[in-house]
Amino acid sequence: MKVIEQFVNQVIESGTYEEMDRFYVANKIHGFVGDEDVERNDASVKDQLISLAISNQKIEDSLTAKEILNDQLMDLITPTPAALNRKFQEEYAKSPEAATNFFYEFCKSNDYIKVEAIKKNVEFSKETKYGDLEITINLSKPEKDPKAIAAALNSKTVEYPMCQLCMENEGYQGRLGYPARSNHRIIRINVGGEKWGFQYSPYAYFNEHCIFLDTVHEPMKINRQTILNLIDIENQFPSYFVGSNADLPIVGGSMLAHEHYQGGKHIFPMMKAAIKESLDFPKYDHVTAGIVNWPMSDIRLESNDTVQLVELAEHIMDNWKQYSDESVSIQANTGDTAHHTVTPIMHREGEKFILDLVLRDNNTSTEFPNGIFHPHDEVAHIKKENIGLIEVMGRAILPARLLTEMQDVKKFWLGEDNEIAAMHLPWAKEVQARQTINAGNIDDVLHQELATVFAQVLENAGVFKDDEAGNQAWSRFIEQL
């Protein structure tokens, strides 16, 4: 069978178009790739169509052009937003999990979730003093298009869509420096009485990684309404966790300009961490509270009573936002600039809501110009980026550069010729001095040492350290609460 003919069959079989639409669909594809049809080869139908478009000079041989065409082709097997939302609601009437199962599987089948790219990621977990920590080296996101980088130097500012989380991305063709979204669909939901959207992440960092986004482009903020919104989402999708990145630079995520939360079906290491100190708030007698045995400073609240849960969470957040303790470099404000916020994360156990409030401080100093509570210089060779929601919970998202850099570290340990980066050398020597390393155990040693560094990264980000001074500072904060 010829390649265009086969793809037409796939489009018809998907149900997006009917048999009567066959010539129409074929002509849509011819418009994308050219009028010549060719015999199938060993490549996937979609990849062969993209190659055909290049050979027919319908597109140039560039990352951006191929990405745009890929998603335009997959848009042919993707229902309209209205049709997909109707199907989602039909499934939701059966159960919330039936609806998310449907939508997740669909987003994989239409190549919005980049399944093949995600398989490239390196993942493992290793035991530390805080329990198992999860390490990932992210290789799924495509490399930067050199033409897009060059074009950015001379390009005019384009404010449509305003950011990659805006609703206007649904069906957007894409351009140099901006991702293709022709096959992107967003489920409409209500959160806190407002219109929101629900979508999956195309380059998922964990199982069923999803995003809940405000339909209005406005900056992120953490307050009482945030907790109410998390509860609302948990009521709608009880099998998912949901959480928000902090709303300040350094300690926040990469998309502070658009209010959104992340969620999914994954049990993170922090969720399994035990309470190391119970806390008693008599006014909130329906809430169980405690400090979590975790490298970051986490107060956990558990209750079936969402009214008391919200009230106590607000009490803690409001106090933290104004709290200073200069003995441990904690300062709430510099003039009118606020430095304190929280990373709130919620999940369910039956009827019980479990809320983790991780205290954050984005102060800098002469000693720590990148952030006092941010990865310090001694760990920056492994992780120097912001510690966002996912890392807070114990899953490291490490940069792709480490895949090749760690190969040279292993060669160094084995005494082979290598080009180890200077920034890794002190760490590599320190590990070598205390470990017996050979070809049989080298991967295990590397994985364990990366997990140990990640634990140190999280300790750097914790505002109350696990030492005498930190424990005393914890006590002072809890006492004033």
Model pLDDT, residue 146: 64
Per-residue DSSP letter, 157: P
CA dist 449 and 444 (Å) reads 9
CB of 321 closer than 8 Å to CB of 299:
no
Percentage of the chain lying above the pLDDT 70 cut: 97
Q: Is the pLDDT of residue 149 over 60?
A: no
The DSSP string of 214-225 is ESS------SHH
CB of 357 closer than 8 Å to CB of 297:
no
Model pLDDT, residue 189: 98
Instruction: State the alpha helices, DSSP H only, in 95-167.
Output: 96-109, 115-118, 146-154
Model pLDDT, residue 209: 97
CB of 176 closer than 8 Å to CB of 63:
no
Give the pLDDT confidence of 75-92 residue by residue, as tens digits: 999 999 999 999 999 999
Decide which of 156 and 461 is more confident: 461
Q: Stretch 393-402: mean pLDDT, rounded?
A: 95
- For residue 347, give the nearest of 238, 256, 477 by alpha carbon: 238
CB of 184 closer than 8 Å to CB of 168:
no
β-bridge partners, 288: 302
Sort 272 into a burial class: Cβ within 10 Å, 0-12 / 13-18 / 19+.
exposed
CA dist 64 and 26 (Å) reads 24
Q: Stretch 227-248: mean pLDDT, rounded?
A: 97
- For residue 125, give the nearest of 418, 376, 451 by alpha carbon: 451
CA dist 31 and 37 (Å) reads 12
Q: Is the pLDDT of residue 42 over 90?
A: no
- Confidence tier at 159 by pLDDT (50, 70, 90): confident
Q: Give the max Cα distance, the chain.
A: 76
Instruction: State the alpha helices, DSSP H only, in 22-129.
Output: 22-33, 45-55, 63-75, 81-94, 96-109, 115-118
Whole-angstrom Cα Rg for the chain? 25
Q: Stretch 95-99: mean pLDDT, rounded?
A: 98
Q: Stretch 230-257: mean pLDDT, rounded?
A: 94
β-bridge partners, 345: 243, 356
Model pLDDT, residue 158: 76
β-bridge partners, 359: 342
Q: Is the pLDDT of residue 451 over 60?
A: yes
- Confidence tier at 203 by pLDDT (50, 70, 90): very high
Q: Is the pLDDT of residue 148 over 90?
A: no
Model pLDDT, residue 185: 98
Per-residue DSSP letter, 178: B
Model pLDDT, residue 255: 87
| Residues contacting residue 335 through CB under 8 Å, at least 6 positions apart | none
Per-residue DSSP letter, 134: E
- For residue 198, give the nearest of 183, 213, 218, 215 by alpha carbon: 213
Model pLDDT, residue 184: 98
Model pLDDT, residue 177: 86
Decide which of 332 and 1 is more confident: 332
Give the pLDDT confidence of 264-274 residue by residue, as tens digits: 999 999 999 99
CA dist 45 and 48 (Å) reads 5
Task: Calculate the CA 113 to chain-centre distance.
Answer: 13
CB atoms within 10 A of CB 19: 6
Mean of per-residue pLDDT scores for the chain: 95
- Confidence tier at 154 by pLDDT (50, 70, 90): low
- Whether a cis peptide bond, with omega within 30° of 0, leads into 282 is no
| Six-digit token string for 460 | 């750097």
Q: Is the pLDDT of residue 41 over 70?
A: yes
Model pLDDT, residue 253: 75
Q: In what helix (H) or strand (E) does residue 133 lie, and over which residues does it extend? A: strand 131-137
Give the pLDDT confidence of 275-317 residue by residue, as tens digits: 999 999 999 999 999 999 999 999 999 999 999 999 999 999 9
Give the pLDDT confidence of 103-117 residue by residue, as tens digits: 999 999 999 999 999
Model pLDDT, residue 141: 77
SS3 (DSSP) at 238: coil
Amino acid residing at 188? R
Model pLDDT, residue 91: 98
Give the pLDDT confidence of 360-386 residue by residue, as tens digits: 999 999 999 999 999 999 999 999 999
Model pLDDT, residue 210: 98
Q: Is the pLDDT of residue 147 over 70?
A: no
CA dist 299 and 292 (Å) reads 6
- For residue 196, give the nearest of 205, 206, 204, 187 by alpha carbon: 187
Q: In what helix (H) or strand (E) does residue 393 lie, and over which residues does it extend? A: none
